[in-house]
Amino acid sequence: MASKLIRIASYQAESQQELSLRQAFDLLESKLRPPFPLTIPNPQEYTQLNQAIIYGVLIEPHFAKIHIKHLHAIVVDGYKLFLTLLVGIVNELYGKFVDSVKDQLIWVTREMIDVSAVGIDGLLVCLLRQIIGGDFSDGNLWLCFELVSVCLSKWDCLLEEEPLVLTSALYTFLRLLSDHCRLSSNLELGVLRQLEIEFCVRMLREQFHLCLKIGRDLVRLLQDLVHVPEFRTIWKDLVLNPTEFRIAGFSDISQLYCTRTSSRYFLLRITPEMETHLRFLLTHVMLGSQKRYQTWFAKKFLLGPERESLVVDIVRFLCCAHHPSNEIIQSNIIPRWAVIGWLLKCCRKNYIEANGKLALFYDWLFFNEKVDNIMNIEPAMLLMVCSLPNYIDFTHSLLEFLLLLVDNYDLDHKDILIRGVSSAFHTVVQKGVESRRPSPPRSTTLTPTLGGPTSTQIVMDDAKRTNDSLTQEVKNLRHKAQLQEVEQERTTKQLKEVMAIAEVETAKCKASHQDTTAQGRSQSL
């Protein structure tokens, strides 16, 4: 019998999860209509009954209320099993669900909120994860609309039972608003946008203590929305008038800067399928064999007019939510920095590339050894160092971007940014992260960027105190910068020389450092 739950294309294998639900339904169908038996099911029967009811609720909208009454009558575990099963099929099958099943899924979610089911937070989070950033298809916008409506209409209940779900929803909708506020032509999108704004503003104005739990990435998201009037006023209060939020102890935006954002927020913006593919890439695919995988990934997830904005979410995920084991670090498996470099190179729009770089360096700006994880800043360092031999311009542009951030990201808190970036440099150097660097002080062609800003010197000065090789590098850089001002022509020549030297050094390093570097790193991490 064909599935009423999912669309199965020709030549597609059946889903085992769908099959087990369907079999339970077929087996128990006659018992799913009143009068319901009064016997108490044994554990196996209980599981089957839960499976059958899920299948019934999803494929028989006209009987859904009866199925739910049945569920209320038999439930002995606070709906835990029911929700676990639902989360399982959403994670595996959401994209294949027929439309009426999606409607039912939202309906049953509301029912489960009303009874404060055990694990409702997990169900809402897994539904939020099915919303795809940068996707303006009807199906995706429908899901945004349904979920923001659930959050608004079930506000009181969620606030009381699962307030952190609202925080997760805030992260999600702030991020989505940066998409939805960019295109403004369509009427339906306008309605959705208003709902999303209403929800986010309500969170920020009424439940700011929950918003604070997001940490520094809340600022990153809000900044993308300062052009929207509703958020501009919030932003102004955040910067100029923090007491407006009436949170005891919250007196400055820097308190957000100092809070590292938990990885669960980054997972919210990556679908389970994307997560599986990225984690596979970073645990199984050898450096040098990644081309086909990258093509498939880009075709599936990044192709399409606005889909590119996902790059920013993926970079945050890679830096903060996927930390490879020492075993992987020592192997030839493709490292995170290489994937991030590829993603940044994929960007066709400048503002997305800039946001991608901001995502890459974001934890550098506020780095504090006590609360931050070195693994979050490691990819940026390695990307800069490892690009030196063959993509020196890229290293150049990354470093330039970092220095621009220090100078301009927040003029009122420049001291924090300088301290953060210095401390990040200090930490990566101390822990030997940059020991994979192909050619130590040869990065002299970075001079043009390092010539101007004074903060550069402060940043570099601080790092200098802690590390000899870096000190030497900085001296070289500054020296070369002066030279360059005098003699522009020589730069091109120097660049060529340095690139040649870098190539030779790379070869040497490859030969001699391969083993020792890996060992050194594993010990230090």
Partner 1 sequence: MVWLRDIVPAAQNNINTHFILLDKGKITRDGQNKMCLALAGDKTAAVHLQLWGEECDAFEAGDIIRMENGIFSYNRNNLVLRAGKRGKVEKVGEFTMEFVETPNMSEIKWVPDPNNFNKYVQHSVISPHSRIFPPIP
Contacts to partner 1 by CB under 8 A: 9-13, 276-277, 280, 284-285, 291-293, 295-297, 299-300
> How far is residue 270's CA from residue 465's CA, in Å, rounded to a whole number?
40
- Three-state SS for 444-509 is HHHHHHHCCCHHHHHHHHHHHHHCHHHHHHHHHHHHHHHHHHHCHHHHHHHHHHHHHHHHHHHHHH
Least Å distance between CB 89 and partner 1?
Answer: 17
Residue nearer to partner 1 on the CB measure, 6 or 428: 6
Residue nearer to partner 1 on the CB measure, 107 or 293: 293
> How far is residue 168's CA from residue 162's CA, in Å, rounded to a whole number?
10
Least Å distance between CB 272 and partner 1?
Answer: 12
Least Å distance between CB 339 and partner 1?
Answer: 14
251 phi, psi to nearest 5 deg: -130, -5
From the number of C-beta atoms within 10 Å of its C-beta (0-12, 13-18, 19+), residue 354 rates as middle
Residue nearer to partner 1 on the CB measure, 215 or 324: 324
Least Å distance between CB 490 and partner 1?
Answer: 34
Cα within 13 Å of Cα(72), Cβ side: 12
Q: At CA 431, angle to CA 427 and CA 436, rounded to 5? A: 110
Least Å distance between CB 95 and partner 1?
Answer: 11
Residue 258 CA from chain centroid, whole number: 19
SS3 3: coil
Residue nearer to partner 1 on the CB measure, 293 or 394: 293
Which residue is associated with the tokens 């645990």? 283
CA distance to 17, 329, 343, per residue, from 285 (Å): 28, 13, 16
Residue nearer to partner 1 on the CB measure, 27 or 286: 286
Which among 284, 373, 377, 290 is positioned nearest to 331, based on CA atoms? 284
Least Å distance between CB 294 and partner 1?
Answer: 10
Q: List the beta bridge partners of residue 6.
A: 97
Least Å distance between CB 333 and partner 1?
Answer: 11
Residue nearer to partner 1 on the CB measure, 5 or 117: 5
CB distance 374 to 525 below 8 Å: yes
Residue nearer to partner 1 on the CB measure, 300 or 496: 300
Residue nearer to partner 1 on the CB measure, 153 or 295: 295
CB distance 459 to 406 below 8 Å: yes
Least Å distance between CB 508 and partner 1?
Answer: 24
